[in-house]
Copies of this chain bind each other. A is one copy, B any other.
């Protein structure tokens, strides 16, 4: 193929159009020539990452890779506005509305992959075997259960007659045994739980049903419940489903749930609501997989201590009263029917252990699935939801704390805050010359904004700060030459969307009290990092990697979270977004007995720092109540961005 030195051919897919541009052009120039509309909300500064395309072949030079991870670059991602054409190119342009989502997804929701060496025979506590049992005669008149035990020993399912002899069996299974054995003509499939001191007979099914075996991993979030339906033979997650926790109608946050549970039959109602949500999701997964919920023989659950107490029917009130004591951190394995969970009634239901009232099994599971407990690198693991729980450690040690961040990042306590659903502004860019915002609204297309969700708030405050709409203290600069800033009922405010553009017919604004709420929330979390590091004689600079879990983490923009001081100012390469680490930890513990033991070890090993009792915490909190922090030396990249802004502005 002959190439022209002066020009390069750029072939864009999927629209299949080729243009020629001078060597050294930007991809955005080539796209313009090809008639492709690539969004550049930040005005081509390489800051927003919205113009990312995939260079599938050919030479390019990336002037900036801000917003891209090493993995993104390796996959060919390039910011169109920052990428110079230095050869003939094949360029794929992702659908515009999906770009950011796709990047975020790639970077955050680590695919739920099967642990590479999973072998159910070795690792799985629940097993299933088909048995052909000798029918009784007058001469061989052993009782039904002994016949099953004898065959378990004979066939080698149980390693010895003693092992088979110790088989545990509950009355409900015994009550149907005689009928099942005879109806099935002594050809049955047994489901056995090997988790305890003795094997336990979970179910006896007619005929050969030994080809499938299912379990479920469940993450009970205060807001969202997630269910993974897992094929316990292959180890694969075959279906997932998620929905709001049915308890939401009885209180948005943990504290209001505890209060509700403490009154009258409140606890029973909340238990029934969350069991109902789990049942609905399990039913949904089962239907899609074309199985029955009763085909599920094991469930592993994670949740914060309050969610687990309520699920188990344990009164949670002491969790919110000093000195914040749970009834139990390591719940015993119970049976599905004890909790009204509609899987196999005798299936084991295992709630993973936590450490304290505000350090639940969702976090120990997250430590496991994030690998925080299995690395030599000093690792900070963070799960932000209503609270910010964090763990610092290596394979040798683990310290943890929980910050009462409050639900600001879930949109609560903010005038136009909302959860991340349709109509929520999830990302904001402010033009540094005009102070006009560009927003992205969940739902896309013609969806009008109804409010601002957590990631939108972080984005908004970062942009306001970087562009000078607010100062370090979060005060809005009312002298700017734009109608977007104005004096409101509660002090200065910034208009994100005018009434004419909004879905509510009212201006969508952010006020000084809103900003103060968000500053308190992020300050609590940052102070948590520092206190935790100090507790082991470290500083934030010693953190070698930062792992972020939780659904909120999935949509968190590192750059902007650093700019407001919510995340520490580390090299971006040190951040990893791991998605729902709690659910993944439950999934791992569901699959592997050693993983289950590892979670127990983590819970046992992890030191919990009670911030309410920590002298340092308040000082650190006060110091963090600024954008990004009182001590700017902790945020050198933000200093650089501000310098750049000021130079341009």
Which A residues contact B (CB, under 8 angstroms)? Answer: 136-139, 141-146, 168-171, 174-175, 177-179, 182, 197-198, 312-315, 317-318, 322-332, 334, 338, 356-357, 608, 610, 612-613
Contacts and interface: CB of A to CB of B under 8 A. Distances in A.
A179 B312 CA distance: 16
A236 to B, nearest CB: 32
Nearest to A317: B178
B327 A177 contact: yes
Contacts of A145: 327-328, 330
A328 B171 contact: no
A376 B141 CA distance: 29
16 contacts: A138-B610, A138-B613, A139-B610, A141-B356, A141-B357, A146-B330, A169-B332, A171-B313, A171-B338, A174-B314, A174-B327, A175-B312, A175-B315, A178-B317, A178-B325, A182-B318
Task: Tell me what chain A mostly uses at the interface: helix, strand, loop, or mixed.
Answer: loop
Contact of A327 (B137, B144, B612): B144
B138 A315 contact: no
Query: Shortest 6 CB-CB distances between A and B: which pairs?
Result: A197-B197, A143-B326, A138-B613, A138-B323, A143-B329, A145-B328
B322 A138 contact: yes
Given A326-B144, A332-B169, A138 B612 contact: yes
A314 B173 CA distance: 10
Contacts of A197: 197-198
Contacts of A318: 144, 178, 182
A141 B314 contact: no
A144 to B, nearest CB: 5
Most buried by B among A143, A168, A170, A179: A143
Most buried by B among A136, A139, A328: A328
A327 B143 contact: yes
Nearest to A328: B145
Contacts of A334: 171
Contact of A137 (B169, B323, B332, B356): B323
Given A136-B325, A197-B197, 12 more contacts: A138-B610, A139-B613, A141-B356, A141-B357, A170-B332, A171-B338, A174-B312, A174-B314, A175-B313, A177-B327, A177-B328, A178-B315
A134 to B, nearest CB: 12
B327 A178 contact: yes
A143 B174 contact: no
Nearest to A176: B315
Contacts of A182: 318
Contacts of A317: 178
Nearest to A354: B143
A328 B143 CA distance: 5
Nearest to A196: B197
Contacts of A175: 312-315
Contacts of A144: 318, 325-328
Name which of A168, A318, A323, A327 has the most chain B CB atoms within 10 A of its CB.
A327
Contacts of A142: 325
Contacts of A169: 328, 332
Nearest to A356: B141
Pick the most buried of A170, A178, A610: most chain B CB atoms within 10 A of its CB.
A178
Contacts of A322: 138
A323 B178 contact: no
